[in-house]
Amino acid sequence: MKQCSLFILACLCTTFLLAQSTDFLVLKKGGKKIQSFFKGSNIQFTTTTGAYRDAVITAIKNDSIFLQEFVVQKLITNFGTFINDTLGSFRYAYHYRDIKYFSKEHKKFNLFNSGASLFGGGLLLTAGSSVVYLTNKEKFSNTLFFAGLGGTAVGYLFTKIASKGITIGKNKYKLQYINLSVK
């Protein structure tokens, strides 16, 4: 009885060992892991040639990443609601060193959207103050005009700071290929 249970346990262990993912990519900043990419996970990046990809990883092997990107279109139904319809898909293969840039994900506070709002509001306030200056100089407020200019400048700086993503090779970011396949 003990031999039978040991045999079943050995078979289960080898089954689990064969089910491991072979290769994967690790994004690191200064030696600390930020994110891992496996087969089946979604990845968004820009290549060294400038192509943007938002795709599913179908395989990672031999220093290459194989992707499938789906073309999705929103369609309106008879009831006035929208559904997503998949029109087709494209397959791509890239060497992992061709990945140049990852965009940052905003989880809590979105600096880019806040900067865009501040920029737009400051621009409207500056334009409104300029119209008041041209039409009625007595009601013109220097404080509002310069507050609008300041809001526009700060909003512009916020959008520039937030638009910087993760560039591989700069700011200590490194993409590492991990090969676990048995040869």
**What pLDDT is stored for residue 166 in this prediction?**
79
- Name the residue type at position 183: K
Mean predicted lDDT score pLDDT of the chain: 84
- The stretch 44-68 carries a mean pLDDT of 90
Question: What 3-state DSSP class applies to 48?
Answer: coil
Question: What 3-state DSSP class applies to 53?
Answer: strand
**What pLDDT is stored for residue 11 in this prediction?**
58
**What pLDDT is stored for residue 157 in this prediction?**
93
**What pLDDT is stored for residue 20 in this prediction?**
55
**What pLDDT is stored for residue 104 in this prediction?**
66
Tokens, residue 163: 């638009």
Query: Where do we find the tokens 């512009």?
Result: 156
For residue 173, which of 24, 34, 28, 35 has the smallest C-alpha distance? 28
- Name the residue type at position 140: F
pLDDT in tens, 72-116: 999 999 999 999 999 999 999 999 889 988 876 656 777 888 999
**What pLDDT is stored for residue 9 in this prediction?**
58
**What pLDDT is stored for residue 160 in this prediction?**
86
Query: Do the strands 64-76 and 52-61 form a parallel or antiparallel pair, or are they unpaired?
Result: antiparallel
pLDDT in tens, 136-162: 888 888 899 999 999 999 999 988 887
- d(C-alpha 142, C-alpha 125), whole Å: 11
| Of 13 and 39, more confident | 39
